[in-house]
Amino acid sequence: MASRPTRNRQASSRVADGANGEAPSAVHQSVLAAKPILDLIKKIGKLSALLPETVPEAPADDDIHRVITRVEHPDGTVAATFNRRLDILFGEDTRSSDGRLKNIRRGDYGMGCVVEYLESIHWESAVIPFDLTEPKLTRVADELEYLCANDSDKRPVKSGKSSAKTKANESSAGTDANSRPSFTKEPGYEKKMDRERALFDIVELF
């Protein structure tokens, strides 16, 4: 008579786990890791819409729009380009004599352009080290918070009501002042993001 197989009396890790749950996948972990960055970007977006009229409105040819849409790091990576753009616009060396960041301006060609750029990055793919990213975004968020808190008028900026100077600049640039400017990405930007999303999808399969 054949002997009966010995039963495995050791409980599986899933059963032994008090929460009876599985460890988060690599994709889930990357999403969780990106959440603080995404929360900061959301905060920057909300505060940018609340900037008071004491903060200048960016014209169409403003440095913010130029840097965000044209400046790229020589190595062409999303991470290096992000670092270069944020350092140029909001680095510690851009503070004025009273300690305030100088490149904070209202409108679609100002912080609106910055927010649109930040939202275009696929943060969940972790192409940009979060330990380097978070201080840069926190610096911007803190400055926006200061500007909003130190002005009694906190109404959101209404589109289509540009200053005379801004309208003149927009007109000279051939842009309709009542329309939101589209975010002009640097050459090859879409291919880079598609490649990073593809790598992220491959990781998700495993």
d(CA 174, CA 149): 36
Domain definitions of the chain by residue range: 26-205
pLDDT value at residue 174: 41
Closest CA to 109 of 54, 150, 48, 153: 48
Residue 42: Cβ within 10 Å count: 14
Query: Mean pLDDT, consecutive 10-residue segments, the chain of 206 residues?
Result: 58 50 68 90 97 95 96 92 96 95 96 96 86 95 95 51 44 41 52 54 47
Q: Please, are residues 107 and 57 in contact by the beta-carbon 8 Å criterion?
A: yes
Half-sphere exposure of 95 (CA within 13 A, CB side): 9
d(CA 72, CA 57): 24
Q: Please, are residues 79 and 129 in contact by the beta-carbon 8 Å criterion?
A: yes
pLDDT value at residue 192: 53
pLDDT value at residue 183: 54
pLDDT value at residue 29: 76
pLDDT value at residue 101: 97
pLDDT value at residue 32: 83
pTM value > 0.75: no
φ, ψ of residue 183 in degrees (nearest 5) = -75, 110
pLDDT value at residue 167: 45
For residue 196, the Cα-to-chain-centroid distance in whole angstroms is 16
φ, ψ of residue 65 in degrees (nearest 5) = -65, -40
d(CA 88, CA 117): 15
pLDDT value at residue 190: 57
Residue showing tokens 């062409």:
76
